[in-house]
Amino acid sequence: MTQPVVIAVAITGSVPRKADNPSVPIKVSEQIESTQAAFEAGASLVHIHVRNDDESPSSDPEKFAAVQEGVRKHCPGMIVQFSTGGRGRDQSSRGSSLIHRPDMASLSTGSVNFPTIVYENHASLVVDLATRMKAGGIRPEIEIFDLSHLHGARRLVDQGLMDERPHVQFVMGVQNAMPAEEHLLDIMLSELKRVLPQATWTAAGIGRNQAKVMDWALTRGADAVRTGLEDNIRITKDRLAASNAELVSIAAQTVARHDRAVATPEEARALLSIR
Ligand code: ZN
């Protein structure tokens, strides 16, 4: 029997997009509702950013807590992952939501250029976030925007801040960062096998790259796939995604086409070593 695939849904993100696609959930209540529909469509992991009422990125720990509470209530067993990403948030507040002890948190292990900013992850910030995550029993999802970030993750293992089996996500197709090219995924995977052989992994394709990166990942036996309006707001060039749930349904169809089953929340927790 083949291993089931975790579907991760990134519901909101940190780039203002409501003007481009009104389906992007912004308010806490919209985020919970959108997550529940995505859960019912097959998602077992939700990646969360929160927003202020004017749509700008928020670091308010209480907003994170409110979304988590709603997800736990309406989506039993779903893995809750908070973003510690930096866009629009100052360095000191990036780990503030971790006091609410989500199941997982994203962790970038190096800096990289983004479309209009430098996504800055100073080595000391990476160590600080990893230390807090370890103390809170929060599983890391390592965000890989560049090859050196894999080595940044390995250093955290060597420093005792992370176990040998983190979940790793390759992010492809962010303008000015790693392009969405199939041979680059092979390079990254061969280096992952060398430096973190026990890690689980997934790959995210941004924008129009979403579908093809998902196919490449499943062809190579990925443990998870990622979708959601944070990464991509369109079904085709001419049609907007109606919801996160629609994107999750498409991901579930892609998983089935690769003769794999969609993981239940229990299976997802077992796969990613989450209690
Ligand atoms: Zn994110």
Residue-wise pLDDT for 249-265, tens only, equals 999 999 999 999 999 99
Share of the chain above pLDDT 90, in %: 92
The pLDDT assigned to 88 comes to 63
Report the alpha-carbon distance of residue 138 to residue 110 in Å, rounded: 19
CA of 106 to the centre of ligand 1 (A): 8
Q: State the CB neighbour count (10 A cutoff) for residue 119.
A: 19
CA of 230 to the centre of ligand 1 (A): 7
Q: Whole-model pTM?
A: 0.97
From the list 167, 159, 177, the residue with the least C-alpha distance to 121 is 177
Residue type, 261: A
CA of 1 to the centre of ligand 1 (A): 32
The pLDDT assigned to 1 comes to 61
Residue type, 216: W
The alpha carbon torsion through 147, 6, 219, 179 (nearest 10 deg) reads -30
CA of 173 to the centre of ligand 1 (A): 14
| 8 Å CB contact between 199 and 216 | no
Buried b / exposed e across 134-172, counting CB within 10 Å, b at 16+?
beeebbbbbbbbbeebbebbbbbbeeebbeeebbbbbbb
What residues are neighbours of ligand 1 (ion), with CB under 5 Å? 83
Report the alpha-carbon distance of residue 220 to residue 256 in Å, rounded: 15
Report the alpha-carbon distance of residue 249 to residue 232 in Å, rounded: 14
CA of 266 to the centre of ligand 1 (A): 23
Residues of the chain with pLDDT under 70: 1, 86-88
- What's the number of CA atoms in the CB half-sphere (13 Å) around residue 181? 8
CA of 28 to the centre of ligand 1 (A): 16
Q: What residue ranges define each of the domains in the chain, with the CATH number in brackets?
A: 6-271 (3.20.20.70)
* DSSP secondary structure of 191-225: HHHHH-TT-EEEEEE-GGGHHHHHHHHHHTT-SEE
CA of 143 to the centre of ligand 1 (A): 9
List pLDDT tens digits, range 81-114: 999 986 667 777 899 999 999 999 999 999 999 9
CA of 19 to the centre of ligand 1 (A): 19
The pLDDT assigned to 66 comes to 98
The pLDDT assigned to 193 comes to 98
CA of 228 to the centre of ligand 1 (A): 10
- State the first-to-last Cα distance of the chain, in angstroms, to the nearest integer: 24
Sign of CA dihedral 188, 193, 195, 196: positive
Which residues neighbour 61 within 8 Å (Cβ) at sequence distance 6 or greater? Answer: 96, 97, 99, 100
CA of 81 to the centre of ligand 1 (A): 10
Q: State the CB neighbour count (10 A cutoff) for residue 3.
A: 14
CA of 263 to the centre of ligand 1 (A): 21
CA of 52 to the centre of ligand 1 (A): 16
CA of 197 to the centre of ligand 1 (A): 25
CA of 83 to the centre of ligand 1 (A): 6
